[in-house]
Amino acid sequence: MKFLLVTDLDNTLVGDDEATQLFNQRLQPVRSQICLIYATGRSHASTCQLIAQKQLLAPDYLIAGVGSEIYQDGTIDLDWAQYLSQDWDKMAIASLAQQFSQLKPQSLKEQNPWKISYCLEPAAENISTLQALQQKLTASGLAAQIIFSSNRDLDILPQTSNKGNALTYLQKRLQIPSEATLVCGDSGNDISMFQQNVRGVIVANALSELLEWHREYGTENHYLAGSACAWGIIEGMAYFWGF
């Protein structure tokens, strides 16, 4: 395999059905040259439902739960699980987060051993809540990272996790160089992918959190697509790879 294509699902590959189907058609003739990875915040079960519902191509790997789990053919990667388990005290972190009444736990289906997820009501003081939570975690000596997306979803993950670290783990295993690795996304939990040594496409419908990151840190390796959702991925593949 020569190329590595890593794409987010909601509002990136999925969001415009016509574009998703055109993406599938474009990929089919070159499918054997491309390692296809979906990187999503969704759980494994919810991703499988979406794949069936939207008739997505079967991926080679699935990065689920914002990088907290990696699957190949429905089997979880135990090496990754073991790596994330080091220096990760889920119970202590969850009980500390419980002290923040603004944090409403997401459904049990969205939680897993390496991901604690909450919802925050849109409010002006959200950023200070995030800072206070981070400070408390640090003061308690608990290693964790906080990822805030869509001005609503708050995920707490092991420091070694996230979509970007998961994709780099697979990229190294597959030995695919950075110029042949393309990531695509639209929101805050995709930022870690753009921070890796890769090429990246930000779809035109991206949220302000990702656009702000791009304004501050974007380089010539990051392409701001003129079109939304999977149209933007198609645009980015042509821009970086010529197909």
Q: Is 10 in the site for Mg ion (CB under 5 A)?
A: yes
Q: How far is the CB of 156 from ligand GLC (least distance, A)?
A: 10
CA distance 69 to 124: 32
Q: Rule CB under 5 A: choose which of 68, 145, 162, 187 binds Mg ion.
A: 187
Task: Provide the b/e sequence for 17-47 (b: ≥16 CB within 10 Å).
Answer: eebbeebbebbeeeeeebbbbbbbbbbbebb
Residue 68 makes contact with ligand GLC by CB under 6 A: no
Q: Rounded to an integer, what distance in angstroms lies between the CA atom of residue 15 and that of residue 85?
A: 34
77 touches Mg ion (CB under 5 A): no
Site membership for Mg ion, residue 54 (CB under 5 A) = no
Asked if 106 interacts with ligand GLC (CB under 6 A), we say yes
Regarding 155 and contact with ligand GLC (CB under 6 A), the answer is yes
Q: Which stretch binds Mg ion (CB under 5 A): 44-52, 74-82, 162-170, 179-187?
A: 179-187
**Part in contact with ligand GLC (CB under 6 A); list of ranges 69-77, 79-87, 122-130, 148-156:** 148-156
| Structure token pair of residue 243 | 């197909």
60 part of the interface to ligand GLC, by CB under 6 A: no
Query: Contact between 117 and ligand GLC (CB under 6 A)?
Result: yes
Task: Tell the smallest beta-carbon distance from residue 38 to ligand GLC (Å).
Answer: 13
Closest CB to Mg ion among residues 60, 209: 209
Task: Supply 88's token pair.
Answer: 């990760």
Could you give the C-alpha distances from 90 to 2, 53, 159, in angstroms and in order? 38, 33, 12
DSSP, collapsed to helix, strand or coil, labels residue 123 as: coil
Give me the phi and psi of 162, to 5 degrees please: 105, 165
Contact between 106 and 97 (Cβ < 8 Å): no
Q: Give the interface with Mg ion as residue ranges (CB under 5 A).
A: 8, 10-11, 186-187
Q: Give the interface with ligand GLC as residue ranges (CB under 6 A).
A: 41-42, 66, 106, 110, 117, 149, 153, 155, 189
